[in-house]
Amino acid sequence: MRSTSLLSSLSLLASFLAASHAKGSFHESLKNHDNFITADGYGPERWGCSFRDTQVHESSSGTRITIGKDSDLKPYSCGELIYQEEDLAYGHYSIDMIASNVVGHVTAFFLIANGDTEIDVELTGLNNNIAWMNIWHDNKQNPVSVDLSFDTSEDWHTYSFEWRKNYVAWFIDGELVLNRTDIPTTKPWDTNYRLVINSWTQVNPEVNIEWAGQFEYPTDGQVPQAQFRNIRYRP
């Protein structure tokens, strides 16, 4: 009796300790941004755009991030939403997206620990029949493209990744498409991981041109946009 109760107290203690790092599941419809920070007034130099909250739009079908020409800081304005929790952990992350089909316009969903590791799903308007899965680690990118049987700009599709200690696996519409065990990731308890969606423009002819193409604002009146809904996480 004694040893049984000691064992069960130990396992209770163990699960309590594990729980202090583990997060609960969450689901964000993205119809509103109550649990997000909207980036405003900055953005990487090489992208040629600054994040502006005016480009991030709530709607009954989710979030739309548009590209504007009205930035006072850079040639274009773009958008980014950052989930409020700062120390996300291993688990399964997913989102529904409709990508932009404008060349040079990137639609992205990623987990980021600045300077440590980034786990990405990126769709570019240069080729809407592939998805890019990437891990940044030690300042090195490791992108892999996955061929798709659909056009990413035409309809909602679910893009996910499962991040574990020994691997990152990506799924599209629930089907496993890639599993990488060759790139390490910084452990969640050694840094702070945040979850981000963004939509931005590639304008520097020297960077990423073969990957995303060079952005030019459409002259036919089209406003470039990327759509996002249903961020889901489960440990």
Ligand X SMILES: *[C@@H]1O[C@H](CO)[C@@H](O)[C@H](O)[C@H]1NC(C)=O
Q: Note the residues at the interface with ligand X (CB under 6 A).
A: 162, 167, 169, 176, 179, 181
The residue among 80 and 120 lying less far from ligand X, judged by its C-beta, is 120
Label the pairing between strands 56-59 and 62-66: antiparallel
Q: Is residue 225 within 8 Å of 65, Cβ to Cβ?
A: yes
Please state, in angstroms and rounded to a whole number, the distance separating the CA atoms of residues 40 and 56.
10
The residue among 42 and 167 lying less far from ligand X, judged by its C-beta, is 167
Please state, in angstroms and rounded to a whole number, the distance separating the CA atoms of residues 107 and 153.
10
Question: Closest Cα partner for 225 from 55, 33, 45, 50?
Answer: 55
Q: Minimum Å distance from CB 24 to ligand X?
A: 21
Q: Minimum Å distance from CB 92 to ligand X?
A: 9
The residue among 182 and 190 lying less far from ligand X, judged by its C-beta, is 182
Q: Minimum Å distance from CB 33 to ligand X?
A: 31
Structure token digits, residue 7: 């064992």
Residue linked to tokens 């994040």: 51
Q: Minimum Å distance from CB 65 to ligand X?
A: 29
The residue among 168 and 195 lying less far from ligand X, judged by its C-beta, is 168
- Give the single-character DSSP code of 165: S
